[in-house]
Every structure is written in structure tokens, then in C-alpha cells.
Structure 1
């Protein structure tokens, strides 16, 4: 009976860990999507060599989505990927709060230059990967 219980418990634990990895990747992708879509579609600039998106909100305030891997203290950095600590940080008004600390890598691929980008988030534990494609106009620098 104890063997059956232990086996069932291990299966349940493994399943819930995989589910947590999926949730981590999904929440980060949704947050990236939300922040990019907050920007005026006519004003988005993609700095490909740095993996940084810059745009303007409805109040014409500059916003950043910084997926470079370096720590950013720029004002109005809506989301920042800090690779040395596997963190996704929210830096709006220099708050610098950790949203998630289980992200190993974020890969950005241009599918249609200037129109369609794919974001892939890979979790630190379990090497789970999730992708999302966003269609929006941007200027590449």
C-alpha cells in the first residue's frame, strides 16, 4: 500500500512541477504581449542587437520592454529579463520588482520583418519552452 501511495505521490508531484513550468512561461509571454500592445503601434522600435522594444503609450510616454538579459534601471521599463538571476523584473517607475525567477532564456525571432515576431520563453527548471507570435508594426534599428 505504501509503495502505491509513494508512486502516486511522485507522479502527482512531477505533474504539478511541469504544470508550474508551463504556467511560468505562459505568464511571462502574456506579460510581454500586454506591454507591447500597450504601445502605439506607429511608434514601436525594435533594437535587434539588444533585444529591446521601445514604444510610446497613449500619453506619449516612452515605454521599454527590455529582454536583453542585462539589468535595466531605465524609467518606465515595463518588463526586464535579467539573465544572471533568471528573473523577469517589472521596473515601472524604477520599482524593480521580480515577477518570475524561473526563466532561463528568451529568444526573439523575426518571422516577417517589421510585422511579425515570435517570442520563446524557456524555463530554468525542466527546460520547458513556450512560444507566442505577435503581429504588430515596428521599426527595426
Structure 2
């Protein structure tokens, strides 16, 4: 009887050891990639919330500046600005957090939904989300106000000071 010796292949043990090492490397790599993906997602979400907060602030400032500067009234108790737009229509910017369904409210903050909404043609479109609060502080009564918009997700806030001559009620 003839015995063939073939040393060209791998033994079963060598294949199992190679597969075990490959599995360990792949598990480590997948864990790292999953961690990197989650961290990147959190950073992207944080940037999106920051963008919403800054966009809301710039829109509030733009809306106030578009009002007739000589006829703006600020109601402290309601945190509302009233004035006239370029078409001489009576308009409001309500930052109190209460929902306004009036046709002349251009912009309002809805605290229950954490949204700032624009009321164009009575549509109540969402301008920005994830807004926890908006605080208005008078620095110089009748001349200078500070508006602070606070994000509800990452405790980020944006504030600006606006020089507007206004009446106080």
C-alpha cells in the first residue's frame, strides 16, 4: 500500500486559528466604527441645533428691524413687540411663549412645542425647532434690548443686543 504525503495544504487547526483571529479583528473594527458613527451623529445633531438657534435669533432681529423704527411698542408683561410694517399694517412679534393665532402676528414663540413660527398669510409655518426659551431683557429702557434664544437640546444659547427706539407699556 502506498502512502501519499501532501504538505501543500492547511490543517483544520490552522484554518480555525486564522478564522478566530479574523473574527477578533473584525469585531474590534466594527465596534470602533460603530462608536465613530455614534459620535459623528451626536456632533451633527449638535451643529443642527446650534444652526436652528442662530437662525431663529437672526430672523427675530430681522423682523424687528423691518418694523417702522419710530412706532415700535414693547409690552413687558407679554414680551411682545408691536409696530407697523412697510405696508403700514399693524404687526406683532410675540416672544412670550404663548401661541398666537392672530392674523397680524408675524412671528411667535410656542413654548409647548419648542418652536418659533412665522405667521405668513395665516399659515403658521415652523421657522425653528428645539427652542427652549426666549428671554428679552431691557438694558436701556426705550432704546436697547437684549434677546437670548436658548436651545432645548444642548443647552446652547445665542444672544444679541438690538438698538431700537421703542415705547414701553
- TM-score of the pair, normalised by structure 2: 0.79
Larger RCO: 1 or 2 (CA < 8 Å, sep 6+): 1
Structure with greater helix percent? 2
The count of aligned residue pairs is: 141
Query: Could you say which residue in structure 1 is the equivalent of 2:110?
Result: 82
* Structure (1 or 2) with the greater strand fraction: 1
Is contact 1:65–1:79 with CA below 8 Å preserved after alignment?
yes
Larger Rg: 2
TM-score in terms of structure 1 length: 0.93
- RMSD over aligned Cα atoms: 1.3
Which runs of 5 or more residues in structure 2 are unaligned?
1-28
Pairing 1:38–2:69 present: no
Q: Shift in Å at residue 93 of structure 1?
A: 3.0
Could you tell me how far apart the structure 2 residues matched to 1:14 and 1:89 are?
A: 26
Alpha-carbon distance in structure 2 between the residues aligned to 1:105 and 1:89: 14
Distance 2:31 2:131 in 1: 35
What 5-or-longer segments of structure 1 have no aligned partner? none
User: Which stretch has the larger CA shift, 9-18 or 43-52?
Assistant: 9-18
Q: Please give the alpha-carbon distance, in whole angstroms, between the structure 1 residues aligned to 2:124 and 2:114.
A: 14
Structure 2 residue matching 1:25: 3-state secondary structure: helix
**Which of these residues, 145, 157, 163, is aligned with residue 117 of structure 1?**
145
